[in-house]
Amino acid sequence: MKTKHADRCAGALARGLVLSALAGVSAADGPAPANSVNGAPLYERMAHLEQYLMNPSAEVALARSAAPDAISDQATILTLKPQGYETAVNGTNGFTCLVERSWMSPFNSAEFWNPKMRGPVCYNPAASKSILTYTLWRTKLALAEHSRELMLEEVRAALGRKELPSPEPGAMSFMMSKHGYLSDTQGHWHSHLMFHVPKAAAASWGANLPGSPVVLDEREVPEPQTIFLVPVAHWSDGTAAIP
């Protein structure tokens, strides 16, 4: 009979093989932009839907890579389908892992429709009950082929109707995957944790001060949250992540 340790090792090996294959596909292999300025792509509108979709097994593996195995192995895993996110794996620990797409960027981002963007994230139970709602809401609007401007209007309207909750106390998430692609300029960025709180000032967390490990995410989003980032020194697989 297999032990739990053997099962975990086998699962980790399988995910490693999938992620290694995924890492072998460079950003340059992604879909070409419709137009560009000085070689920089312009993402003025949503690309064809299939460019945002992934192989289901690869997406599950990429979603799990957002957090250490001890967390993601027991988490619920969501994958993106043409009609929205669906549960691919039912978890037992209250965490939810998925791969965000570019429409989770600030609405003024030049890469709002970048089809190459893949943001693996694992939400803890408190974030799964609140922050995840933002992702599901925006995704519903994007897949309905609403423009960026209309999406922003509808998110604001949902806020007015109190359909988007404030962050639950203790809401946080893991973004520790070295296989993500957060933007054309930053690639996978840094391995980090995110803490989601109701609208707050940087000083309340000692963020952005000399020597402080806490960084305020200063990007403007309409959802009722402030995000504080804490970079960490390793990726989810335990390898070193040099700042």
Tell me whether residue 67 is in a domain.
yes
Tell me whether residue 221 is in a domain.
no
Give the C-alpha separation, 169 to 130, whole Å: 10
Burial of 219 (C-beta count, 10 Å sphere; 0-12/13-18/19+): exposed
Tell me whether residue 210 is in a domain.
no
Write the DSSP assignment of 155-189 as a string of letters: HHHHHHTT-SPPPPTT-EEEE--TT-B-BTTTBT-
Tell me whether residue 108 is in a domain.
yes
27 vs 156, which has greater pLDDT? Answer: 156
* pLDDT surpassing 70 at residue 38: no
Instruction: Output DSSP code: residue 79.
Output: E
- What was the pLDDT predicted at 189? 87
18 vs 66, which has greater pLDDT? Answer: 66
Give the C-alpha separation, 120 to 135, whole Å: 12
Split at pLDDT 50, 70, 90, the class of 8 is low
Tell me whether residue 11 is in a domain.
yes
- What was the pLDDT predicted at 70? 98
Residue 26: domain span: 4-165
141 vs 27, which has greater pLDDT? Answer: 141
* pLDDT surpassing 60 at residue 40: no
What is the mean predicted confidence (pLDDT) over 37-62? 88
Which among 98, 94, 56, 57 has a CA at the least distance from the CA of 75?
94
- The pair of three-digit structure tokens given for residue 62, joined into one six-digit string: 């990429």
- What was the pLDDT predicted at 16? 55
Question: How confident is the prediction for the chain on average, in pLDDT?
Answer: 88
Tell me whether residue 122 is in a domain.
yes
Per the structure, the count of domains in the chain is: 1
- What was the pLDDT predicted at 145? 95
What is the mean predicted confidence (pLDDT) over 206-226? 94
Q: Which residues pair with 164 in a beta bridge?
A: none
Q: In the chain, where do the E strands start and end?
A: 35-37, 40-42, 76-81, 84-89, 96-100, 119-123, 172-175, 192-197, 215-216, 226-231
* pLDDT surpassing 60 at residue 226: yes
- What was the pLDDT predicted at 19? 57
Burial of 130 (C-beta count, 10 Å sphere; 0-12/13-18/19+): buried
98-146: per-residue pLDDT in tens? 999 999 999 999 999 999 999 999 999 999 999 999 999 999 999 999 9
Which among 189, 50, 36, 175 has a CA at the least distance from the CA of 115?
50
Tell me whether residue 173 is in a domain.
no
- The pair of three-digit structure tokens given for residue 108, joined into one six-digit string: 């003024």
Tell me whether residue 224 is in a domain.
no
- The pair of three-digit structure tokens given for residue 64, joined into one six-digit string: 């799990």
